[in-house]
Amino acid sequence: MTHLLVQGASGRLGQIIFHLAQQSDAWQVTASEKGGSLEPLVATTEVSIDVSVPEASVQIASLCARYAKPLVIGTTGHSDAQMKSIDTAAVTCPVLVAPNFSVGVNLLFWLTRETAKILGEAFDAEVIEMHHKLKKDAPSGTAKRIAEILADARSTVYEDAVRHGRQGMVGQRTPREIGVHAVRGGNVVGEHTVVFAGEGERIELIHRAASRETFAHGALRAAQWLVGQAPGRYDMENLLDLK
């Protein structure tokens, strides 16, 4: 058995990860509790999964670095400063950061990159995401990652290229512009569409998630893979050998 710590086990995804780990002979699982001391849990575990909030991600990353313990982060909405702290932790322990643990979504990332390279700026790129009405951050971490891939393929940066929705007299669309649009409603688990619109034709790459168990299985697969890896920053594309 591998001793697993789940931070954020009271959340939607965290509950499912914890339950699946409990049901498996491969894991001995512990959940961190609000107000409890996190350090002794990290010190005695073999790998941790964080699906909590950005501030808590930074805390557990620092502890995992101190004890050289692998960490999988599925939390989204980190600031640049918080991501720098996580990258600093990855110098001394393996850290896998994934805005989405779905195998299908990570294939979508790869397809987005390859499609953008082939089509070039002759096709306008837009990203549309839809999630349940209780989701707090926008755009989703997955949508942001897709936009980052598109920006990189076009030799620009996310902050310069992205337009979050459009309102008023925004002017003509520029070739390097990347629209990102967040839709919220109902109990939608997650849907992401990448649109490549050219003159007279359009290509759409779509991923729809019907169950959070998809993400939970992916998170546990990531944790198992990360044990034994060298210190560094990893993602699901490393795990799936899509690099």
Residues noted as catalytic: 131, 135
CB-CB contact of 17 with 5 (8 Å): no
Closest CA to 219 of 15, 1, 58, 34: 15
Q: For the chain, what's the residue count?
A: 243
Tokens representing residue 186 in the block: 């109902």
Q: What is the biggest distance separating any 2 CA atoms in the chain, rounded to whole angstroms?
A: 60
Q: What is the b/e burial string over 33-58, where b = at least 16 CB atoms within 10 angstroms of the residue's CB?
A: eeeeebeebbeebbbbbbbbbbebbb
Amino acid in the structure at residue 108: L
